[in-house]
Amino acid sequence: MTCVEKGIPYELVPIDYGSDAHGALHPFRRMPILEIDGTIIVESLAITGHLAEAFPGPTLQPEDAAGLARMRTWMSVCADYLFADVVRTVPRGRPITDEEQTTARSALERAETLIDANPFLVGQELTLADLYLAPQIANCLEKAPALLDGLVRLTTWGQLMASRDSYRLTAYDLS
């Protein structure tokens, strides 16, 4: 999504997940991994920050200190809490248990309280915070859409994100 928003051409390269070749690129054998001009960058925080800062186009980061803090709060919330309690907790391919539902719903309700009246998570412009949260909400909508019932601010923001090319062009196909 960051590449699309910045207008940076990119290619998705398949990898033998968990293999030694994967470990040579990312010692913790996770994704994403960015190869750029012969350099490998791992971890979403570093990758998205590098793409935002090293290329022309929208900055995707607020210029004021308070805005930056708010963006980083969201990125931290996504990386630590929503990733664990929603993305990792909500199963694919079997019904969600009551306990999983409570864990995920509670995290989403807490995230909802962080959304204000602005269209994007940090003000009037799209930032990396939106690009962190959008795939997590897409993942939730795919696996257990009812988890978002009644969460009006998250849903409204999600609809705004879903209308963007970066969202549509990076949607994954499970078939």
Of 20, 8, 90, give the one whose Cα is nearest residue 51. 8
Q: How many helices (H) and strands (E) does the chain have?
A: 8, 2
Number of residues that bind ligand GSH (CB under 6 A): 7
Task: Confirm or reject binding of residue 48 to ligand GSH (CB under 6 A).
Answer: no
Token pair for 123: 């003000």
CB of 150 to ligand GSH, least distance (A): 27
**Residue reference for tokens 């969202």:** 167
Q: Is 31 in the site for ligand GSH (CB under 6 A)?
A: yes
Handedness of CA 143, 147, 153, 159 (dihedral sign): positive
Identified binder of ligand GSH from the candidate list 22, 30, 50, 164, rule CB under 6 A: 30
Pattern of binders to ligand GSH over 79-98, x per CB under 6 A? x-------------------
Applying CB under 6 A, does 143 fall inside the site for ligand GSH? no
